[in-house]
Amino acid sequence: MLAEITPADMFAFAFYTMSWIGYGLFADFPGLGKASLMRRMHEYREAWARQMLLRDNRMVDVQVVNLLVANVRFFASANIFIIGGLVAAFGAAEKARSVIAEIPFAAVPSKLLFDCQMTVLVVTFVYAFFKFTWSLRQFNYVAILIGATPEGDSEESRGCADRMALVSTRAADHFNRAMRAFYFGLAALAWFIQPWLFVLSTVWVLVIVYRREFRSRILASLGPVGAPIGTPQPSRQSSSL
């Protein structure tokens, strides 16, 4: 049965898996992704938490959390429909393979290879769903921390504000990983056409996510990591991603 899967397909899948895991290790582990957009946004969240202590009425802070929750909820709901569509496609495998056969330059997958390709997509989007829902729960915890933070600028209130900023960053980090899974899931769609196109799509996704997290104009506008909040960095990047 393994003879139905070509060496090119095996290489493409291995490259996809190692690229996703390798980039995650590079971008998410402390010290490696220290100059990333996520790291800079954590500093802004800390500034948000300190400003929250100066407000008697924290409805503004609650509205910010509600906006973040709405964004995560939208993607989590869309993810459910994607997973449902992929599961339904398992029942129409022959029809799907006939559609692929009509695509120019497409390598029609065997039944085993098609099932493997669909399984990769399902696993990718299931992973994204769990990340979305965990991010959603953590943003709910942020709202609780806002309500639990005492008024004033005492040591206790500053400690609660720091915890709120940390939980908010962790929630955003899981949302970021879920969105990254979306991008890699889109790259995996190319596998249905050609394994080498799958490799090129994976490289393309790597370039996109790297430029957005480490070389984007928004990061330049926010200022370098460690700089005082509100001090923009002169734009050096040419990327608009």
**Choice between 30 and 132, residue whose per-residue pLDDT is larger:** 132
| pLDDT mean over 79-88 | 91
pLDDT of 238 reads: 44
pLDDT of 132 reads: 96
| pLDDT mean over 34-63 | 88
3-state secondary structure the chain: CHHHCCHHHHHHHHHHHHHHHHHHHHHHCCCCCCCCHHHHHHHHHHHHHHHHCCCCCCHHHHHHHHHHHHHHHHHHHHHHHHHHHHHHHHCCHHHHHHHHHCCCCCCCCCHHHHHHHHHHHHHHHHHHHHHHHHHHHHHHHHHHHHHHCCCCCCHHHHHHHHHHHHHHHHHHHHHHHHHHHHHHHHHHHHHHCCHHHHHHHHHHHHHHHHHHHHCCHHHHHHCCCCCCCCCCCCCCCCCCC
**Choice between 109 and 156, residue whose per-residue pLDDT is larger:** 156
Q: Mean pLDDT over all residues of the chain?
A: 87
pLDDT of 204 reads: 96
pLDDT of 230 reads: 64
Query: Where do the domains of the chain lie?
Result: 2-222
